[in-house]
């Protein structure tokens, strides 16, 4: 969310992800993806810079905060513990009346990567 100022002077927050365009007509008019329009006191350049700063902060925070700490970072409860694996996952799934799901490292992915390496080496004149 970004903070903007209405022409009346009141401040409001707007979801920057829903902004479709910003026009100067001569007032700054923000049009959302659903067609709703907001007239604000900031210039179009100021609105764009505010959106850029918001997105930069979001990206910077995402690289600094471990995913498990998000709840406690924002004042909520800590993230739930890791999902059970192996026999514990099967027991939990069985108790819920559904089959257990698991993620398996794909053999095909490894085979594709090895094949790509061989192709790269062949193109360079190296043969394994």
72 vs 105, residue with greater confidence:
72
The neighbouring-strand residues paired with 99 are none
Predicted pLDDT of residue 111: 60
Each residue's pLDDT tens digit, 45-90: 999 999 999 999 988 887 776 666 556 655 665 555 555 555 655 5
pTM of the predicted structure, to 2 decimals: 0.51
Q: What is the CA radius of gyration of the chain?
A: 25
Strand partners, 23: 29
Domain ranges of the chain: 2-68, 87-123
Which strands sit side by side in the sheet containing 19-24, from one edge to the other?
19-24, 28-32, 37-40
- The one-character DSSP state at 1 is -
């Amino acid at each position: 969310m970004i903070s903007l100022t209405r022409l009346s002077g009141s401040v409001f927050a707007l979801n920057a992800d829903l902004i479709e365009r910003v026009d100067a007509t001569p007032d700054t008019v923000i049009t959302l993806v659903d067609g709703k329009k907001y007239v604000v006191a900031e210039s179009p350049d100021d609105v764009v810079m505010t959106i850029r700063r918001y997105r930069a902060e979001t990206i910077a925070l995402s690289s600094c905060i471990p995913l498990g700490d998000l709840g406690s970072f924002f004042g909520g409860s800590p993230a739930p513990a890791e999902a059970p694996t192996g026999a514990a996952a099967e027991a939990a799934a069985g108790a819920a009346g559904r089959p257990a799901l698991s993620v398996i490292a794909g053999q095909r992915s490894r085979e594709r990567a090895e094949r790509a390496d061989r192709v790269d080496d062949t193109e360079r004149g190296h043969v394994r």
